[in-house]
Amino acid sequence: MPTILYQSHDGGVREVDVPDGTSVMEGAVRNSVPGIDGDCGGACACATCHVYIADEWLAHLAPQSDMERSMLDFAENVRPNSRLGCQIKMDARLSGLQLELPESQH
């Protein structure tokens, strides 16, 4: 199973194993990782699963869709490494993915 490392805005790290095909958002919600709300359930319609991807992992992800870019306009404190967790599906090649959670999703 792929592993995701969720780092909270205050530096704490939570390591979670998820089945292949699980999104970063689903992994957080199913494992009670604080900091990702996922209000829309993964429909790319709310931006409450905003995360910052560690720079060394950005090249391993599929490019952002137009919808994802549009939804990030609604997120706070967007950075060049911002992504929506609902749009990142995990598989073995992404095992060890490191990301940081913003201080707030609203």
- Condensed to tens digits (0 to 9), the pLDDT of residues 79-94 reads 999 999 999 999 999 9
- Indicate the domain borders of the chain: 3-100
Question: Average pLDDT, whole number, for the chain?
Answer: 96
- Condensed to tens digits (0 to 9), the pLDDT of residues 4-30 reads 999 999 999 999 999 999 999 999 999
Task: Answer yes or no: are the C-beta atoms of 51 and 104 closer than 8 Å.
Answer: no
Residue 50 has pLDDT above 80, yes or no: yes
CATH topology of domain 3-100: Ubiquitin-like (UB roll) (3.10.20)
Residue 106 has pLDDT above 90, yes or no: no
Q: What would the mean pLDDT of 31-40 be, rounded to a whole number?
A: 94
Between CA 14 and CA 6 the distance in angstroms is: 5
Between CA 15 and CA 26 the distance in angstroms is: 14
